[in-house]
A = this chain, B = another copy of it.
Amino acid sequence: MALFSSYPERMSTPGRGLHGHVLESLGPSITAGEYPPGSVLRTDELAQRFEVSRSVMREAVRVLESMHLVESRRRVGVTVLPTDRWNVYDPQVIRWRLAGADRPRQLRSLTVLRCAVEPVAAGLAAKYATAEQCAELTECALGMVANSRGHRLEGYLFHDVAFHRIILNASGNEMFARLGDVVAEVLTGRTHHQVMFEDPAPEAVTLHVQVAEAVRAGDTVRAESLTREIVLGALEELDVLSPEP
C-alpha cells in the first residue's frame, strides 16, 4: 500500500555514535529530575563516568546545552537549568520525559496542546487538503473502524496515528505539521502504557469517520468542531485515569 510509504519508521533516533549513547543515558536522567536544577556537573568527571573521551563528552554537553537542559560556564561547570528553560518542543526531550516518571503530567499538557491545535488544523485541512490526502484520510478512518473491535489495538493505533498526521500535514501549516511526531508519541504512549484492556470508544471511531467526510466535503467548521470533540474526549479520558485539575 503505497499510501503509507511516506511515513517511515524513523521516529526514534537511537544513539548513533558514542556521543549519542551518552546522551541517551544522561538526557533522561536530567529530564527525570535526577539532577535538580542548579546541580553542577563537571565535563571531565562525566567523561570518566561514561568512559568516553572529553571530546565526546563535550559534544554531548553541547547538544544538551542546545536543548537548554544545561548551561556550561567557565570555572563553574555544567549547570542543570530549571524546567522552564527546557526546549520542551524538542522531540527528543519529549521522548525522554514521556519515558520518565512524570509521564502523566507530560501526557496531559501535550493533550491540552492537541486540544488547541488539532481542531484549527482540521479546519484548515478541510480547506486545503488535496484529493490524495482526502483519500488517505478516509482509508485511515476505515482502517480504524476495521480494527475497532476484538482487541486489535496495534492496528487501530497505526491508523489513528496516520489519521492525525494527515490532518496536521494537510493543514498546510508547517508548525502544525511538525506536531505530527508529538501526537504520535502521545497516542502511542496512551495505547502502550495505560490500562487499555477495552476496545476504543465507538463514538471516537465514528467521529474520525465523520471528520474524514467533513474534510472531503470542505466543511471547515464541521471538521473543526468534530475534531474538537475527538481531542476533548481524549483529554477527558486522560483525566479519568489520572485525575488532577
Contact = CB atoms under 8 A, between A and B. Distances in A.
Interface residues of A, number: 34
A109 interface: yes
Interface stretch (A41-49, A115-123, A134-142): A115-123
7 contacts: A55-B58, A66-B92, A84-B174, A112-B124, A112-B175, A116-B121, A117-B117
A225 interface: no
A62 B175 contact: no
Contacts of A19: 62
A176 B114 CA distance: 11
A87 interface: yes
A52 interface: no
Contacts of A119: 116
A113 interface: yes
A84 B177 contact: yes
A153 interface: no
A218 to B, nearest CB: 14
Contacts of A32: none
Contact of A109 (B84, B113, B175): B175
